[in-house]
Amino acid sequence: MLIRSKQRRSALLAGVLILSGCSRDGETLDRFSRAYTAFSDLRGDAQVASIVVIFNDGKQVYWTELGGALDQHAPNKVRLGHAKVAIKAETETIQSRLEVFDSTLDSLDRAVTQLIEIANSLGDREYREGAIGVSQRAREVYSAFESLRRLYAEAFGHRNKILEGIVADGGNLAPAIMRYKVDAARIAAIAREQEAVGQHLSSATDQLKDAFSALAGRSRLKTYPSKWDEHPK
């Protein structure tokens, strides 16, 4: 009887410990879910910030002036004017948009770090591995945005060299084109890289959502809507 009594007490104690662990994981999973939503909000912000860099908030001043500066049929004086305005637009507008993108990426990076920390604190192995998988996908999304930011900055740098060459030559296009052939080739290569990164970003985002959905299904954690749920792309 004594042995059976001890066995019952041991089983009861084990059950209490398991329930206690589940309770703690429940709270941690809820924190993870909230952190995931915060990351999703920032991911949407980063998407918008990246688009604004390229399209300048719907105002095409830089791109219009760049096209005018590279117009082979325009007089030198006209090209010179366009080149100067394009350089000014890049300095005053594009750079400020890149800074906003940078700030958003910094916040996104911190959000990923928080996801990783919470995931690693889960006691249940299955939940922990699932949450770590979500965190890894989130890191891939962040890295894709970081690559886009780097490519954007590099492309603007190469274009500015060509524009500055046009200004230096009084609007004469031919010397700048010959002098910066390598830059022009690199700009074309960057455009291809941007497309590839954009495709990877889309794929990584889908994988992130799938990984979180799988974790939510297994753990029955409460999910919280992102402000971008109606506009996921």
pLDDT per residue as tens digits for the range 91-139:
888 889 999 999 999 999 999 999 999 999 999 999 999 999 999 999 9
Give the per-residue pLDDT at 24: 72
When pLDDT is cut at 50, 70 and 90, the band that residue 58 belongs to is: low
CA atoms of 38 and 115, how far apart (whole Å): 10
When pLDDT is cut at 50, 70 and 90, the band that residue 18 belongs to is: very low
CA distances from 92 to 35, 45, 104, 148 (A): 35, 22, 19, 20
Number of Cβ within 10 Å of residue 17's Cβ equals 10
Give the per-residue pLDDT at 19: 39
State the average pLDDT over residues 68-81: 95
Token code pair at residue 170: 């009084």
Give the per-residue pLDDT at 23: 56
CA atoms of 35 and 132, how far apart (whole Å): 13
CA atoms of 45 and 19, how far apart (whole Å): 39
Give the per-residue pLDDT at 11: 44
User: For the segment 196-206, what is each residue's pLDDT rounded down to a tens digit?
Assistant: 999 999 999 99
Q: Is the pLDDT of residue 6 over 90?
A: no
CA atoms of 232 and 220, how far apart (whole Å): 23
Q: Is the pLDDT of residue 151 over 50?
A: yes
Q: Which of 78-82, 172-176, 220-224, 226-230 has the highest mean pLDDT?
A: 78-82
Lowest mean pLDDT among 15-19, 63-67, 133-137, 140-144: 15-19
Give the per-residue pLDDT at 54: 83
Sequence-ordered alpha helix ranges (H) in the chain:
2-55, 61-69, 76-89, 95-120, 125-168, 173-179, 181-219
Q: Tell me the whole-structure pTM to 2 decimals.
A: 0.84
CA distances from 87 to 58, 148, 160 (A): 18, 21, 7
Residue type, 197: V
CA atoms of 119 and 30, how far apart (whole Å): 11
Residues 138 and 204: beta-carbon distance below 8 Å: no
Number of H helices and E strands in the chain, helices first, is 7, 0
In percent, how much of the chain has pLDDT > 70? 87
Closest CA to 94 of 140, 42, 163, 40: 163
Residues 49 and 100: beta-carbon distance below 8 Å: yes
* Mean pLDDT, rounded, of the chain: 88
